[in-house]
Structure 1
Amino acid sequence: MTAPFDLDTGPFWFGGAGIGNLLHPVTDDDARATVDAAWDVGVRGFDTAPHYGLGRSERRLGAALADRPRSSYRVSTKVGRLLVPGSGDGTDLASGGFAVPNDLVRQWDPSPSGVRRSLDESLERLGLDHVDIAYLHDPDVYSLTDGLTQALPALAALRDEGVVQAVGVGSNSVSALSAAVDTGLCDVIMLAGRYTLLEQPAAELVARCAALGVDVVAVGVYNSGLLSNPLPAPDTTYDYAPAPASVLERARALAAVCSRHGVTLPDAALAFPRRAPAVRTVAVGAQSAAQVRENAARAAAVVPEELWADLRAEGLLPA
């Protein structure tokens, strides 16, 4: 299956985790300015999820888009985690990674009723009457079997009813996404951090998606920070943890080759996934207008074909 519309609109999709206070607080005004900046650079696809800031990302995104014609942009959100009352005695930072009060907590519910409830509550937070794509979010974290036998068919039924236009699964697990594609129910998958300039454990999956007509949205293209600077610093992160020495060394080797071609490491990191036919777009998060504009400049950078050949010659990309 293929999404019934072109995902490739604008320089990239906007990833909404940052405006949900991912790791750091963001004010409402800064969140609005971040979305506004994305719009100004031509972004017309916006991704969010209940998980991101316990609904804060959805509320902020919806408020920022409220005055724009609904037909002029696309929105994706996710199901699988319901938000239910929490203790309210602390923050979500340790358990969920977001600097927000823990007055709500996530509750896994892959049932058809849970999927419908999740989508309805997301629409209420967004202030929209529909989203374009609904993903099952990280089923491997809870129960992949239940996710693929209950939640994904429920999403497909909503698509067939016309409630959403396309459905799929989002995860950083290659095996989980492979199993999802095997169901034949996915129009699109959101692949997090497993098909990047640094590493490509999902290369076979991406090739199979091309053959099956399943679109891929690549996210985590900077490997959570490692590839986001021209020269990775010793204290940089990889998969939201300190980068191991071997991984840091590989990133620096990539940066050195990029520099020889007059390209920065983040320029190449943003360009690399889109070379695969199945990868229809990338989604890039931001917590400020400046970060959005920086990503837009990277997306516009010209990356010479010779760079990829040199990376292959040095064993930094597969031959």
Structure 2
Amino acid sequence: MRHRKIKNTSVELTELGFGAAVIGNLYRATPPDDAATAIEAAWESGIRYFDTAPHYGLGLSEQRLGAALRQYPRDQYVVSSKVGRLLVPNENPQGIDSEGFVVRDDLCRQWDFSRDGVLRSIEASLERMGLNRLDVVYLHDPDDHWRQAAEEAMPALAELRDQGVIGAIGAGMNQSAMLARFLRETAADVVMLAGRYTLLDQSALDDVLPAAKELDKSVVAVGVFNSGLLSRLRPTDDLKYDYQDAPPALVARARAIADVCAAHGTTLPAAAIAFPYAHSHIINVTLGMRSREQVTRNAELAGQPIPEGLWDDLRAQGLIRADVPTAENAHGRSPRCL
């Protein structure tokens, strides 16, 4: 699997990444053995970039990921985690987490983008994972905390990066406008863009992607299935879009895209994974995977060639925006490692 470098840093990511939120029991419990074999399958598939966060399962994702990676040489993989939510004792536990993870709520999340909060969060993440360093650190969902995130958290991360403690820094969010601000107004090297550059939503073309191109910075794309609507060969009415029931109009549009994909001899999920790579500053697509079967399927989808004319036909039919960049090769990827 090819690698791409986070621009202006020494950190290289495999083009496909392993998103570890689901092994933190997102929405439903993932047995420990399934989580371990999923990471093992990812390694066997050539994936060397693994993303997690304290938020995911109140630390469970970090614990499981660290334990599974311990058998591999540390210099052969890249790990990213996030700051902004400290895990603290829960003084009023109800028995189960209230933010979508099937775990006990003995801990709770506390927003904190202060310098001290950043340092404490990183130290706790390293302890949970049993690692001596993080390669990439993102500010996690700072939507309502711009000032503290930009003026305290990001400078703290920049200091750690400049000292060589961290390889690259950035922010990860479900919106694109503020990510553009982080690229333009802070020391961020890379942003993690969730759901805003997909076959169903290209709004990132209005802000964060032009900023990345202008400033020669990097973007990691996540949420490329938009919570599931783009994950099936033929979308059904009961699928989710951005964590909610998918509106009928979007289901119909996803089916229309699937029809065009089929006419070109490919599939909707394969096209959904390949689509972001057509933009020169998107260096990685990271997918959440909770089992060996999911890893194998996604790695196979990511390896499928995409006919060059697919994007042209989708543009011509108004199914993607007219200003979506043309893929540089048939797979929608740059022909060289960046």
- If the length of structure 2 is used for normalisation, what is the TM-score? 0.91
> What is the match of residue 117 of structure 2?
114
Q: Distance in 1 between matches of 2:268 and 2:13?
A: 23
Q: Does 1:287 align with 2:290?
A: yes
SS in 2 for 1:116: helix
Does the 8 Å CA contact 2:171/2:179 hold for their aligned counterparts?
yes
Q: Does 1:210 align with 2:213?
A: yes
Letter in 2 for 1:23: Y
Q: Does 1:239 align with 2:252?
A: no
1:128/1:6 CA distance change after superposition, 3 Å: closer
Q: Distance in 1 between matches of 2:45 and 2:34?
A: 17
> What is the match of residue 16 of structure 1?
20
1:270/1:252 CA distance change after superposition, 3 Å: same
SS in 2 for 1:185: coil
Q: Distance in 1 between matches of 2:8 and 2:302?
A: 23
Letter in 1 for 2:230: L
Does the 8 Å CA contact 2:45/2:296 hold for their aligned counterparts?
yes
- Give the drift of 1:3: 4.7
Question: Which structure 2 residue ranges, 5 or more long, are not aligned?
Answer: 1-5, 323-338
Q: Does 1:258 align with 2:261?
A: yes
SS in 1 for 2:203: coil
**C-alpha RMSD of matched pairs (Å):** 1.2
- Structure with bigger helix share is 1
Q: Distance in 1 between matches of 2:321 and 2:201?
A: 10
Matches within 5 A, 1:47-66: 47-66=51-70
Q: C-alpha deviations, 1:118-174, integer Å up to 9, x for none?
A: 00000000100001000000000x312221111111111111121101000000111
Letter in 2 for 1:13: G
Does the 8 Å CA contact 1:170/1:192 hold for their aligned counterparts?
yes
> What is the match of residue 168 of structure 1?
170
Letter in 1 for 2:165: V
> What is the match of residue 194 of structure 1?
196
Letter in 2 for 1:26: T
SS in 1 for 2:47: coil
- Give the drift of 1:6: 5.0
Q: Distance in 2 between matches of 1:155 and 1:230?
A: 41
Q: C-alpha deviations, 1:83-123, integer Å up to 9, x for none?
A: 0011333211xx31111111110001111011000000000
> What is the match of residue 91 of structure 1?
96
Does the 8 Å CA contact 1:54/1:105 hold for their aligned counterparts?
yes
> What is the match of residue 296 of structure 1?
299
Aligned counterpart for 1:2 among listed residues 4, 7, 17: 7
> What is the match of residue 133 of structure 1?
136
Letter in 1 for 2:183: V
Does the 8 Å CA contact 1:88/1:102 hold for their aligned counterparts?
yes
Q: Distance in 2 between matches of 1:112 and 1:285?
A: 29
SS in 1 for 2:12: coil
| Percent identity over paired residues | 51
Does the 8 Å CA contact 1:7/1:280 hold for their aligned counterparts?
no
Letter in 2 for 1:68: Y
Q: Distance in 2 between matches of 1:75 and 1:3?
A: 18
Q: Distance in 2 between matches of 1:166 and 1:132?
A: 6
1:6/1:130 CA distance change after superposition, 3 Å: closer
Does the 8 Å CA contact 1:3/1:165 hold for their aligned counterparts?
no
Q: Distance in 2 between matches of 1:306 and 1:134?
A: 37
Does the 8 Å CA contact 1:3/1:215 hold for their aligned counterparts?
no
- Give the drift of 1:27: 1.2
Does the 8 Å CA contact 1:61/1:126 hold for their aligned counterparts?
yes
Q: Distance in 1 between matches of 2:198 and 2:8?
A: 23
Q: C-alpha deviations, 1:50-71, integer Å up to 9, x for none?
A: 0000000000000000011000
Q: Distance in 1 between matches of 2:318 and 2:230?
A: 18
Question: Which structure 1 residue ranges, 5 or more long, are not aligned?
Answer: none
Aligned counterpart for 1:69 among listed residues 68, 73, 78: 73
- If the length of structure 1 is used for normalisation, what is the TM-score? 0.96
- Give the drift of 1:5: 2.8
